[in-house]
Amino acid sequence: MYAEGGMVREHYNPIHARLATLSPEALAERQKTLERSFLLQGITFTVYGAEATTERIIPTDLIPRIIPGAEWNRIEKGLIQRLKALNMFLADIYGEQQILMDGVVPRDLVLGAASYRREMQHVFVPHKAYANVCGSDLIRGQDGEFAVLEDNLRVPSGVSYMLANRDAAKRTFPGTFRIANVRPVERYPDLLLATLKSMAAEWRPNPQVAVLTPGVYNSAYYEHAYLARLMGVPLVEGRDLVVHENQVYMRTTTGLRRIDVIYRRVDDDFIDPLTFRRDSGLGVAGLFNAYRAGNVVICNAPGTGVADDKAVYAYVPDIIRYYLDEDAILPNIETFLCREPAQLSHVLANLDKLVVKAVGASGGYGMLVGPHASQKERDEFATVLRADPGNYIAQPTIQLSTAPCLIDGANIEPRHVDLRPFILSGEKTVVTPGALTRVALRRGSLVVNSSQGGGSKDTWVLSEPRSAKS
């Protein structure tokens, strides 16, 4: 909110002026009202392994994060460039594998990745859009520029919290929101539905879409139900679907209804027990055969996870250069591949300065934040690292940028944040003009994941002034 020297940044002026008129008691009351609203709506997230409870309200901060229009334009261009290259990469590695033959990305790194699906070889994917929904995590570096921390191409979550935060912010600061010229995010469900339908539009005039959920015990079940309701499509579990003659049908009270597009929120391993994990009770027997036959579309396509593997991440700038002949607009964070002996030695010698992550993990699991870990934790992690170096990468401990947050209902303090915008890719690629800002609510913490106790806040992307556009 403040620049060096204590001046309020221009784009924060409206919200700063409004906050100055509110007493700590008024702010605390608005925060309580917001939390009560989330509770009544059932906006929750399951934290696995928690001792006291498994289902919690998403901690939400009422002070929005604000991004000026010119800055957002660069983010938008960078995200579109990145997803375009990653979709081309996926089409290549599941096709002719030219990038592997040219040695740009190591063959064993891709084909040996846990998320690589050989079953996807030469499977037709409409528009070559393997990742239809992408949620890339961005951070602002010390130079003030945004960089990509990681890509999420499998079943990225969080968009429902972006929408819920926007609804809450509009009710908390209605006047300020109106005068700030904030770009809308409310069209996301319509854009998502249009993207999903475009994947089957070539052979079905009005495709039937369904959202496939693992069920009520999944951490993001609220989001699955929320998006299905806003899109006006059925929310189904694996047991609600049946495959007959390589076509997918939904069981209804009036008989079977054909399904053309499945927006799946189930991991690859569990979508079809005949093709992947045989013990899965979450998927649909025969679904992958129907997909391979071209009678149903699965979004995101199985096997997209190989492109957001944390080791493949290190090669994304090279991937962009290879397919698009362009430099990456949004840079990567420096990354050490522990599979390389020299880089492993560097990581082991500097565990107290680095963040180490398992290449296939997500949600903040399987990682070590070196500066915040004890010597015993670092020693134990070093043993694991030596035993399986190919499963880990390391990055410098990034001092995430901060945003103002209301703490304990009274004090406004800085907390570390990242940014997760959502990109839709089908017949065309669209970036929603907003994002989920995730917040590390504990003082000094750098872990923003909801599954690790983080929270979120609304993100206001401002429209550019007319003079700037012209």
| Threshold 0.75, pTM exceeds | yes
Asked if residues 132 and 427 have their Cβ atoms less than 8 Å apart, the reply is no
pLDDT < 50 regions, the chain: 52-53, 467-470
- How many CA atoms within 13 Å lie on the side-chain side of 178? 3
What is residue 466's predicted lDDT score, i.e. its pLDDT?
53
pLDDT of residue 468: 44
Q: How far apart are CA 278 and CA 422, in angstroms?
A: 32
Q: Do residues 146 and 139 lie in contact, with contact meaning Cβ atoms separated by under 8 Å?
A: yes
The one-letter amino acid at 442: R
Give the number of other CB atoms < 10 A from CB of residue 169.
Answer: 24
Confidence at residue 200, expressed as pLDDT on a 0 to 100 scale: 95
Q: Tell me the two tokens of residue 133.
A: 């929904």
Closest C-alpha to 211, from 164, 254, 157, 169 = 157
- Number of DSSP helices (H) and strands (E) in the chain, helices first: 14, 21
Q: Report pLDDT digits (tens) over 348-361.
A: 999 999 999 988 66
Alpha-carbon distance 458 to 435, whole Å? Answer: 8
Q: How far is CA 71 from CA 178, 219, 388, 433, 463, in A?
A: 21, 33, 40, 12, 11
Per-residue pLDDT, 361:
66
Query: Residue 184 corresponds to which tokens in the numbers above?
Result: 């809308």
- Which segments within 16-111 are labelled E, that is strand? 44-46, 55-57, 60-67
**Sequence-distant (≥ 6) Cβ neighbours of residue 465 within 8 angstroms:** 69
- Per-residue pLDDT tens for 416-444? 999 999 999 999 999 999 999 999 888 87
| Dihedral over alpha carbons 326, 155, 425, 457 (to 10 degrees) | -80
Rounded Cα–Cα distance for residues 289 and 404 (Å): 50
pLDDT at residue 467, as a whole number:
45
Largest CA distance in the chain: 69
Phi, psi of 32 (to 5 degrees): -65, -40
Tell the residue number behind the tokens 């993990």, with chain if given. Answer: 361
pLDDT at 4: 84
Report pLDDT for 180: 92
Give the closest residue to 136 by CA, choosing from 414, 416, 438, 399: 438
State the DSSP string of 252-290.
ETTEEEE--EEEE-S-GGGS-TTTS-TT-SSS-TTHHHH
Phi, psi of 400 (to 5 degrees): -55, 145
Q: What is the 3-state secondary structure (H, E, C) of 129-187?
A: CCCCEEECEEEECCCCCEEEEECCCCCCCCHHHHHHHHHHHHHHCHHHHHHCCECCCCC
- pLDDT score for 356: 93
